[in-house]
A = this chain, B = another copy of it.
């Protein structure tokens, strides 16, 4: 009887971020104006500036929401033994993130050019590369590197690029995971113990 009362401690900030993501994902970052965001929210543009210093700042908030879990996953992965089972688990967890933050992932993927020149280095791909490396063994061949990186790309494809395929999203996700695991397994060599 408090938490749902009325706009608490800036519920607005969150709403701005939600609407922004929605529009950014729909139309692209550059094509989305603050006017639109404000209108859809029923506030004035100036209100946005009370909560965020710039348009870019809104984006940065979203970016951090996306990369925080990725970075946590990376940190966790670094502490695990480089077994195949670990790698599978990484892929599984990555798949979960992908599912939970699909619109955000899609947005960052489709707006790479628009985001490149931002003051903060928005670089989701760098994290994918890092993750790919976590799945390689020692001195991997070029082909193995490709396999590991591709495993991740495939999982993205499973969520975004099979939209035209009529099938249960969960099934697609699982199929992607399956292929990804195949690839990582092919590149795997048991670490020296």
Binding site for B on A (CB under 8 A): 24-25, 27-31, 107, 109-114, 116-117, 125, 128-129, 141-143, 145-147, 149-150, 153-154, 157-158, 161-162, 164-165, 167, 171-172, 175-176, 178-179, 182-183, 186
In chain B, what residue has the closest Cβ to A109?
Answer: B112
Number of copies: 4
Which of chain B's residues have a CB closer than 8 A to the CB of A186?
A: 182
CB A40 to nearest CB in B, in angstroms, measures 17
CB A75 to nearest CB in B, in angstroms, measures 20
Given the interface contacts A28-B113, A113-B29, A147-B179, does A171 sit within 8 Å of B142 by beta carbon? yes
- Does A158 lie within 8 Å of B171, measured CB to CB? no
If over half of A's interface residues share one DSSP class (helix, strand or loop), that class is named, otherwise mixed; here it is: helix
User: Looking at A25, A142, A143, A153, which has the most chain B CB atoms within 10 Å of its CB?
Assistant: A142
Say which residue of B109, B153, B172, B178 sits within 8 Å of A154 (CB atoms).
B153
CA distance A145 to B129 in the complex (A): 24
CA distance A76 to B158 in the complex (A): 28
- Does B164 lie within 8 Å of A129, measured CB to CB? yes
CA distance A182 to B150 in the complex (A): 13
CA distance A142 to B110 in the complex (A): 24
- Does A117 lie within 8 Å of B31, measured CB to CB? yes
Pairs A–B under 8 Å by Cβ, sample size 16: A25-B113, A27-B116, A28-B116, A30-B31, A31-B114, A110-B112, A125-B161, A129-B161, A142-B172, A145-B175, A146-B157, A147-B179, A149-B162, A153-B153, A153-B154, A153-B157
